[in-house]
Amino acid sequence: MLKINPTRLLNDLNHLRTFGATGPGVVRLSLSATDMTARRWLVDRMRDAGLDASIDGVGTVFGRSRNAGPALLIGSHTDTQPTGGWLDGALGVIYGIEIARALAECEETKHLAVDVASWIDEEGTFSGFLGSRSFVGDNVDDAIGHARDREGVLLADALAQAGIADAPRVRIDEARHKAYLEPHIEQGGRLEAGGKSLGVVTTIVGIRELALRFTGQRNHAGTTPMAIRRDAGAALVAFIARMDDAFKQLADADTVWTVGRIELDPGSFSVVPGRADMYLQFRDADPARLDAMERALATLIDAFNAENSVHVEVSTSEPPEQPVVMNSALQTHLADAAEALAPGQWERMPSGASHDAQVIAHHVPACMLFVPSIGGVSHDFIEDTDEAHIVLGCEVAARAAASILHELNRHS
């Protein structure tokens, strides 16, 4: 009977946590010395699990089962944010290793092929989703030649310093890789608030990122009467209130929008701001709603410019990301496993965060499984998940993995 080893699972997760441990969190930025030490440890753990493992030419750790395909690829990332949590990404990689071991230890599943990946730079220290993009054949050479971290280090130099610049890059094997599973912490509070233990991801949301510039007239804060001011900062604040009202008319329970940064020029107590910039992001699983929000924003800008002496212009801050739907058949395998092991304790839900799965899904059928985040906190040192949920999530993922592979073998 297929059975994971909870003690082994938790020991591996906690050992990985020691690489870059900072208080309760982890600092393990892509291609840092700490990250490379962790990646070499992952190679050893994958080899111990019976996988042929190595670090590729961009930094991805890849473990390949010696069994013939079709193969299920299980992966996530082990790099962190500058002030990161210990489970973000790491959970999925260690799940993959544990599932590979559990399948090998069970007579009924020891012939099945699970490959495991720890993708490099999901968090974008140099170039977001570098490992998964390289894996599916995207051209990452431009990023390698030009991308820099926040300290100004060139990605090409970081790869050379890590000693992997000349290593082969792992590539998708479409004849072998027939499905992708990415287990992950939720990074939000929906599961906890609903008293659920598991989430089967339906869609990874799309993202729009825009920059709005408000242009008025810089002037003396003491001598310029309010009635004749062209205050770009005040105009920005007033606009946000209108935007919130408009977006609320279009939103459902999972729609989110954030003004993540505001900059005033010159930013002095004694000067009326002549320019104000705001950086807006909104996310939703429905591409039609994203388009509607963008149209509503354009309408607001036109009306605002017609009514005010401060002028607003909008530009694209980052290229738009379209929603990515997870494969329905793979969702069913996860849902069936969740209901078998935790009846009534799971739900279908979108992912409000981006993941490597959205890159892989364009080439291989993909699915994701969530476990709850305590307090809904992630990307912070206090990020955590109850051990019981960690173990349950791995049990469900393992059961689903076996089911997926049995079906793939029946049809191969």
pLDDT confidence of residue 69:
84
Q: Which alpha helices (DSSP H) does 255-373 contain, by range? A: 287-307, 328-341, 357-360
Is 184 annotated in a binding site? The answer is yes
Average pLDDT over residues 154-175: 98
Average pLDDT over residues 324-335: 98
Which residues, including other chains, have CB under 8 Å from residue 278's CB and lie 6 or more apart?
Answer: 211, 212, 214, 236, 240, 259, 261, 262, 263
**pLDDT-based confidence at 165, cuts 50/70/90?**
very high
CA pair distance 163, 172, nearest whole angstrom: 23
Which residues, including other chains, have CB under 8 Å from residue 407's CB and lie 6 or more apart?
Answer: 333
SS3 244: helix
Is 88 annotated in a binding site? The answer is yes
- Going by C-alpha positions, the residue among 103, 99, 105, 138 that lies closest to residue 117 is 99
- The owner of tokens 């689903």 is 400
pLDDT confidence of residue 412:
79
CB atoms within 10 A of CB 356: 31
As to burial, measured by CB atoms within 10 angstroms (0-12 exposed, 13-18 middle, 19+ buried), residue 150 is exposed
Average pLDDT over residues 335-354: 97
**pLDDT-based confidence at 411, cuts 50/70/90?**
confident
pLDDT at 173 > cutoff 90: yes
Distance of CA 330 to the CA centre of its chain: 19
Is 379 annotated in a binding site? The answer is yes
Please report, rounded to a whole number, the percentage of residues in the chain having pLDDT higher than 70.
100
For 275-290, what is each residue's pLDDT tens digit? 999 999 999 999 999 9
**Contact in structure between 58 and 144 (CB atoms under 8 Å):** yes
For the chain, the average pLDDT equals 97
For 111-125, what is each residue's pLDDT tens digit? 999 999 999 999 999
- Domains of the chain with bracketed CATH: 6-204+323-410 (3.40.630.10), 206-321 (3.30.70.360)
End-to-end CA distance of the chain: 24
Average pLDDT over residues 189-212: 97
SS3 284: strand
CB atoms within 10 A of CB 202: 18
pLDDT at 16 > cutoff 90: yes
pLDDT confidence of residue 189:
95
**pLDDT-based confidence at 237, cuts 50/70/90?**
very high
pTM: 0.93
pLDDT at 181 > cutoff 90: yes
CA pair distance 54, 302, nearest whole angstrom: 55
pLDDT confidence of residue 159:
98
**pLDDT-based confidence at 71, cuts 50/70/90?**
very high
- The owner of tokens 């493992």 is 53
pLDDT confidence of residue 214:
98
pLDDT at 364 > cutoff 90: yes
Average pLDDT over residues 260-275: 97
CA pair distance 190, 195, nearest whole angstrom: 9
Is 77 annotated in a binding site? The answer is yes
